[in-house]
Copies of this chain bind each other. A is one copy, B any other.
Amino acid sequence: MSERPLPSLEDVRAAARRIAPHIHRTPVMRSRTLDAMANASLYFKCENLQRVGAFKMRGATNAIFSLSDAVARRGVATHSSGNHAQAVALAAKLRGVDAHVVMPEDAPEVKRAAAESYGARIVTCASNLRAREQTLAEVVEATGATPIHPYDDARVIAGQGTAALELLEQEPELDVLIAPVGGGGLLSGSALAASSQGGALRVIGAEPAAADDAFRSLESGQRQPSLDPVTLADGLRTALGELPFRILREHDVRIRLVDEPEIVGAMRLVWERMKLLIEPSAAVAVATALFDAEAGLAGMRVGVLLSGGNVELEALPFGSSLRA
């Protein structure tokens, strides 16, 4: 089997043009307090303010608007239960086609309700990867829908890269760009976008130490399995995808690890000091910017991708609630 082609910087630029009518150009925010803590100038790209509350809207929109009319008409499908599901649902709605979303029966109610509110058809299955993949295959077989993979897809990666491309338009003088890494769609897309700077912009992947498969994969040069990771950053439990892995190697992207207390601390700081809701996965990138003394950020201009803001308010990690 021949290797699948990798997306290019030009694909990211084309994605930016394609999705512009359908997404938000998100703001860049700053914080004196966090700058002082990091001893650096931090530029927070607010993808938590993106439609559906996460950068995932970019990749899903690029993938779905890349389909021919004949193919799109048969609908799209995914077995994500996270932000990608909402993104596929909304992008399909904007394209005027059906979205089938396979979700495990224990998916967070807020995410299920959100996908439904965008008009997606939810197909429930057992809570394991095998059941999800099999149910998705059945849906695709029955409907002719196109599966939209959450990260191991060149169109999705190109779409995710538009967040960094946009940030570079807003703040052209960055020295470093930090993105969280789970499946690797955002980080690899960011590496493509950063290549527009001819090597002047260093890209760092931020990963929970408790879910360090991307770190181990790049260290060893072989994709390593994700070992049942237990991290608050639920969006980053996924193993690194094959296309993202190849892109990260090609662009020599380094991964930095943060521990769970750092993730909670970073999340709390952004909530309290910036008044922005970010989800734990986004806090992983913030934690690297704030707490990783070895990352070499002192005095630098650092872009931080706040990847999303979808959190269950009943299950916050900040201590017990006093009210019923």
Question: Footprint of B on A, CB under 8 Å?
Answer: 27, 46, 48-49, 53, 110, 268, 271-272, 274-278, 309, 313-324
Cross-chain contact A272 with B313 (CB below 8 angstroms): yes
A-side interface mostly: loop
- Which residue of A27, A110, A309 has the most chain B CB atoms within 10 A of its CB atom? A309
Residues of B near A324 (CB, < 8 A) are 319-320
Point out the residues of chain B lying under 8 angstroms from A53, CB to CB. 275
A-B contact pairs, 23 of them (CB 8 A): A49-B274, A53-B275, A268-B313, A271-B277, A272-B277, A272-B313, A275-B276, A275-B277, A275-B278, A275-B309, A276-B276, A277-B277, A313-B316, A314-B318, A315-B323, A316-B321, A316-B323, A317-B321, A317-B323, A319-B321, A319-B324, A320-B320, A320-B321
- List residues of chain B with CB within 8 A of the CB of A319: 313-314, 321, 324
A271 to chain B: closest CB distance in Å? 6
Bound-state Cα–Cα, A187 to B275, Å = 23
Nearest residue, chain B, Cβ from A323: B317
Q: Is B315 a contact partner of A322 (Cβ separation < 8 A)?
A: yes
The CA-CA distance from A324 to B324 in the complex, in Å, is: 16
Which chain B residues border A317 with CB–CB below 8 Å? 321, 323
Query: Which of B278, B309, B315 lies in contact with A321, CB distance below 8 A?
Result: B315
A54 to chain B: closest residue by CB = B275
16 additional A-B residue pairs with CB within 8 Å, beyond A316-B323, A317-B321, A320-B324: A27-B27, A46-B275, A48-B275, A110-B272, A268-B313, A271-B277, A275-B309, A313-B318, A313-B319, A314-B319, A314-B320, A316-B316, A317-B323, A320-B320, A320-B321, A321-B321
